[in-house]
Amino acid sequence: MIGGFFGPGSFAGAFPHEGDLYISAVYQLNERGQFSDPVPDTRGILLRKDDYAYIELFDVPTTGNPNP
């Protein structure tokens, strides 16, 4: 399981690569599946549509730090 922030610099694929996602900010998850620290030295992650079964999305808080 991975955590990511689909924000500036992230992209979603379109035909003929629909379902592919590039997520620019990748985060470690703690034992409860909650966002933890950013993955050090990452430049993002490319997920092909065959790499995942589902994606869960969350709202970003509108106050404080804009990053997760």
Q: How far apart (Å, rounded) are the C-alpha atoms in residues 41 and 26?
A: 10
Q: How confident is the model at residue 23 (pLDDT cuts 50, 70, 90)?
A: very high
| Domain range annotation of the chain | 3-50
Q: Give φ, ψ of 46 to 5 degrees.
A: -105, 120
**Which pLDDT value is given to residue 65?**
57
Task: Yes or no: say if 64 and 36 are a contact pair by the CB < 8 Å rule.
Answer: no
**Which pLDDT value is given to residue 24?**
94
